[in-house]
Amino acid sequence: MIRDGVAYRDVPARTGLAMYTDGTARIYDETATTADELVAEGVWNTMSFGPALVDGGEILPGIDEVEVDTNFGNHSIQGAQPRTAIGIIDTNHLVLVVVDGRDEGYSRGATMTELAGIMQGLGARTAYNIDGGGSSTMYFDGTVINRPSNGGERATSDILYLGA
């Protein structure tokens, strides 16, 4: 885990997203590098949840079968679920998407492949699944602007914050 160019944790587990100080980003294999090497390359922040959705403008194969390990063991993320993703269209040009779900008659959610298609359709050359379920909340200008699956904001230990 790297935040603001400082390595806080170096426990590789999966495919991550490295965001560089120059405004670029790339998908990387956490098990093939170290946090110190990433910082030396100019990585500003990393995200470690996944899976990676789009790389080089192409939807990655097999993303609907990925299991993500959590503090409670392997956790299935298959099927249509609430989702949150970040996409990189170009240098310093990001797109954030929250898909609501688990709400009969409103939104069923999206599969990973459907989420990847949304991100690709928005022009993302690189896209990464951040989290899902009740954590899928988008907050803008003092207000929650989506319909979280658990009925409202949920306490979480980490957020993605973008400020002007």
Rounded Cα gap, residues 164 and 146, in angstroms: 21
Whether the CB-CB separation of 102 and 150 falls below 8 Å is answered with no
Closest to 97 in 3D by CA, of 79, 112, 77: 112
Residue by residue, pLDDT tens for the chain (164 residues) are: 999 999 998 988 889 999 999 999 999 999 999 999 999 999 999 998 889 999 999 999 988 887 765 555 555 578 888 999 999 999 999 999 999 988 888 899 999 999 999 999 999 999 999 888 878 888 888 888 888 887 777 777 667 777 76
**135 in helix, strand or coil?**
helix
Give the pTM. 0.87
Q: What is the residue extent of each domain of the chain?
A: 1-48, 49-154
Closest to 48 in 3D by CA, of 19, 77, 80: 19
By DSSP bridging, strand 43-47 and strand 25-29 are unpaired
Whether the CB-CB separation of 134 and 63 falls below 8 Å is answered with no
